[in-house]
Amino acid sequence: MMKRLLAPILLCLLTASLPAQYEEHKTPEQIEQELESAEAQFERAKKMFNPWYTGPLQTPGATMMAPGWGNIQPYLYVTDNYARFNSHRHSQNLPSHLVSLNPTTTLQFGVTSSMDISLGLQGFANWQYHQHGGGLGDTNISVGFPVCFQSLHVPAIRFVIKEIFPTGKFEHLNSDGLNLSATGGGSYQTQFSLNMSKIMFWDYLHPMNFRLSFSYTLPTCVSVRGFNNYGGGFGTHAKVHPGNIFNADMGLEVSLTQRWVFATDLVYTATNRTTYSGYAGVTADGEPASIGGGFNDNLSLAPAFEYNWNENLGALAGFWFSVYGRNSLNFLSGVISLTWTFKVN
């Protein structure tokens, strides 16, 4: 029995050891073919370029800002919220579209080789039912730390802690209930993110940049009075417990040329139910007002084109639209952005 088992094992070992001793004979024609193939690879490799990317519309990057360098990236979102996904994930048209203009700017600076800092500012202008409102939104400051730097086979990984400050208006809103002046959440929010990115040269002339980001946001409780971003009405006096937010983004950039890049994002956001304690108030009809809401989520796509003048200056424009959701808005946004990286000192 033992001999029966040993025979095939020995045969396998012998076969495996043969290539080391037995070098295959190559004809001049075969070697000529190898040379031609290597020569073709050499010519393709010569055409390779250092890819320039602005980053896709949504998924944050994992590259650290070098010390002594800064970056400014303003965005402009024009959003048409034309419907709403209900709790059964059915899209139901809004009687009047909620149109929103949302300019944002991010300023990022490299502090040390293992830390960078960003400041995010934004504003809103909203229109619905021939009414309008808006103002300064919430502000955020984030600090990024490298987990690992990108190399040939390893992606860049960056850990970011972001603090969102409630600089936007969130309470004492107009009693029409449209909440067009609501531009913030009213709570301090701490967000933890892990961002990854990796450039791949599967095709020498069309490199790709993959990005992946996961974040989790923990908002603090917020005291609200009157009509507020979470609902409410006349006489509202309550404490709101906003739901925690989970976010997963996947981004892909494909270089068409060094300057032109196609980019797309797949964005998923899920927010836990928002609850409250206290008095919810009454509506204009005298009905009890509501505050908060159930679990909501949204899946969206953001295809765009980038144009890069050089490695430090680029622009991108595209669309961002929802495809699936629950208790969330069904929207279509047009987005433009400019990014400029500059030397500070």
Cβ distance to other proteins smaller for residue 1 or 14: 14
Footprint on this chain of other proteins (rule: CB under 8 A): 18, 21-28, 31-32, 34-35, 37-39, 41-42, 44-46, 48, 50, 151-152, 199, 201, 204, 207
Give how far the C-alpha of residue 320 lies from the chain's centroid of Cα atoms, to the nearest Å.
Answer: 11
Cβ distance to other proteins smaller for residue 48 or 218: 48
Q: Quick check: 57 and 263 in contact, CB under 8 A?
A: yes
Handedness of CA 229, 234, 240, 244 (dihedral sign): negative
Q: What is the DSSP letter of 27?
A: -
Cα torsion at 332, 272, 274, 176 (round to 10°)? Answer: 10
CB of 149 to other proteins, least distance (A): 11
- Reported in sequence order, the residue ranges of 20-90 that DSSP labels E, i.e. its strands, are 69-85
Cβ distance to other proteins smaller for residue 5 or 152: 152
Cβ distance to other proteins smaller for residue 5 or 42: 42
Helix, strand, coil % in the chain, rounded to nearest 5: 10, 55, 35
Cβ distance to other proteins smaller for residue 29 or 285: 29
> Which residue type does 27 have?
T
CB of 19 to other proteins, least distance (A): 11
Other Cβ atoms less than 10 A from the Cβ of 32: the count is 11
CB of 203 to other proteins, least distance (A): 11
Q: For the range 138-141, what are the long-range contacts, defined as Cβ-Cβ under 8 Å and sequence gap of 24 or more?
A: 138/164, 138/165, 138/166, 138/167, 138/168, 138/183, 138/184, 138/185, 138/189, 139/164, 139/165, 139/167, 140/164, 140/165, 141/117, 141/165
Cβ distance to other proteins smaller for residue 24 or 285: 24
Which run of H or of E encompasses 46? helix 28-46
Cβ distance to other proteins smaller for residue 50 or 345: 50
CB of 50 to other proteins, least distance (A): 5
Cβ distance to other proteins smaller for residue 21 or 345: 21
CB of 25 to other proteins, least distance (A): 4
CB of 42 to other proteins, least distance (A): 5
CB of 312 to other proteins, least distance (A): 16
Cα 127 to Cα 92, 319, 330, 339, distances in angstroms: 19, 20, 16, 28
**Residue whose C-alpha is closest to residue 298's, from 265, 273, 331, 276:** 331
| Radius of gyration (C-alpha) of the chain in whole angstroms | 27
CB of 35 to other proteins, least distance (A): 6
Cβ distance to other proteins smaller for residue 51 or 231: 51
CB of 22 to other proteins, least distance (A): 6
Q: Quick check: 274 and 240 in contact, CB under 8 A?
A: yes
